[in-house]
């Protein structure tokens, strides 16, 4: 209700006492209103996290990395050249250990 009232009225127009009382009740569970402006001085310290958002480039990069790690070897092994390269690499690593 409060957000809807703000959208209709626009920015810069203060809430009415009824709207302030309703918002105060939603936040603090009582309808005793403090004087106007005291909330600016007595703000709750610490972050108020309502939802976590991951930036799109970070999400896309992480998803691409995971898909590459899972599907990369399968895609390499599915081609003739990739299969030969994997076989040669594996043989050289095993020969170095022996």
pLDDT at position 67 is 92
Q: Answer whether residue 20 shows pLDDT above 90.
A: no
Q: Answer whether residue 90 shows pLDDT above 60.
A: yes
**Torsion (CA) 66, 72, 73, 78 in degrees, nearest 10:** 140
Q: What is the pTM of this model?
A: 0.34
Nearest Cα to Cα of residue 7 among 17, 24, 19: 19
pLDDT tens column, 29-82: 887 888 887 766 655 666 666 676 778 888 899 999 999 998 888 888 888 988
More confident residue, 31 or 8: 31
């Amino acid at each position: 209700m409060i957000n809807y009232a703000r959208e209709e009225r626009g920015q810069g127009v203060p809430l009415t006492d009824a709207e302030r009382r309703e918002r105060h009740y939603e936040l603090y569970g009582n309808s005793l209103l403090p004087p106007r402006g005291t909330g600016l001085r007595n703000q709750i310290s610490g972050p108020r996290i309502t939802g976590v958002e991951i930036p799109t480039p970070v999400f896309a990069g992480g998803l691409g990395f995971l898909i590459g790690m899972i599907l990369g070897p399968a895609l390499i092994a599915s081609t003739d050249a990739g299969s030969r390269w994997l076989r040669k690499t594996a043989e050289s690593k095993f020969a170095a250990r022996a």
